[in-house]
Amino acid sequence: MAALSGGIGGQRPSADNPEMSQSPSATLPSSTPRLSPKVVGALAAVVTVLIWTAFIVVARASADPSRAPTLNPLDIVYARLLGAGLVLLPTGWWITRSLRQRQREAGQVPDAGSLFGLSPLPLRTTVLTGLFGGLLYGMLAYSGFVYAPAAHASVLLPGSLPLWTALLAVWVLGDRISAARALGLVCIVAGDLLVGGASLLHALDGSGVWRGDVLFVMGSFAWSCYSVLVRKHALQAVHATTAITVFAFVVYIPIYSLLVASGALQGHIFTAPFNDVLLQMLVQGVGSVVVSGISFNMMIRTYGPVRSTMITAVVPGLSALLAALLLAEPLHWNVLSGLALVTLGIVFGVRQAGAKKA
């Protein structure tokens, strides 16, 4: 993790480092050459796509009421933050401590970080990124899986990201939308409407799928807000992921624990089988938050927020296919058509962004 991100505040050994030239081993050729930014960005994209695909399938399997889940969506958020917090809270303390030590050595006031020295980012940045990327995204997305199948999430979660991110980037960052990218966004909107619109048509007959679709779109918007904030503040991958986890952990874990323990809120986090909670901690916490959170931020630093979200073109198709194979969920014509349109729209954006950079 530290190797891919260039370390957390440290220098990598290289022949250009004067301190390394004092070592006898400095004259030897390096057996582990440093990866180029392009390679790091590509690896981060692959890791992000794989974990996001697994996230959709596992989340649906864990929250689907027909499968008699032992945890409700808010329980899963709790396990997600608990698993991620066990890794990132100590990491945040160590990073903040190192930053403050450097400030002391430079004769500055050691005031780096926030939230009891656990977040390496300033308080305002921690709250903003943590609200969108740490709290809202998880609560909205996991709640959506209760009502809607994984194929709908495949279209509306990663599929809506390019749309919201492009619009937010125009407003917040002053980006411009080219004609080709606009065409891609039109395809994405059409795909979203095919999936979400069809469920809205059945709202009056008692179907609750539309609720899940709305929650997925809102969750996608929350994550897009977070991704644009990462670029606006030029946040480092480890710092940003640590900050959103610290904020969500400090806010959510105590409040939810108190509400469940007092009986004010129905939850099963303290009574569910330990193996079920541990699975969510590892998959949704360590995997979806720690690993993919860092890889997603690294992708943003390489490609920017709009192109990064468009690189996730394969996530909708992969996750829908895996859900059909593993969860036996049907793929109706409107879902397949929506997947095709969303993927086409994302590819338009990627090709346009690539041509522009070239």
Give the amino acid at 92: G
- Summary mean pLDDT of the chain: 81
Q: What is the pLDDT of residues 89-121, one digit of tens each?
A: 999 999 999 999 999 998 888 888 899 999 999
**Neighbouring-strand partners of residue 114:** 119
What is the structure's pLDDT at 129?
95
- Per the CB < 8 A criterion, the answer to whether 72 and 266 are in contact is yes
Could you tell me which residues come within 8 angstroms of residue 126 by beta carbon, excluding any fewer than 6 positions away? 114, 115, 119, 243, 244, 246, 247
Q: Is a pLDDT exceeding 90 seen at residue 277?
A: yes
pLDDT at 14: 40
How confident is residue 46, by pLDDT bands cut at 50, 70 and 90? Answer: confident
Give dist(CA 105, CA 345) in Å, integer: 51
**Amino acid found at 28:** L
Tell me whether residue 186 is exposed, middle or buried, using C-beta atoms within 10 angstroms of its C-beta: 0 to 12, 13 to 18, 19 or more. Answer: middle
Q: Which residues contact 262 (CB under 8 A, 6 or more apart)?
A: none
| Confidence bin at 174 (pLDDT 50/70/90) | confident
Q: Encoding tokens for residue 146?
A: 């209760």
Task: Considering only residues 41 and 88, tell me which one the structure prediction assigns the higher pLDDT.
Answer: 88
Nearest-angstrom CA–CA distance, 62 and 145? 9
Residue 7: is its pLDDT beyond 50? no
Backbone angles phi, psi at 291, to 5 degrees: -70, -55
Q: Which of 355, 233, 222 is nearest to 300 (CA)?
A: 233
Q: Please give the structure tokens belonging to residue 284.
A: 């949704």
List Cα–Cα distances, 241 to 57, 129, 131, in angstroms: 23, 9, 12
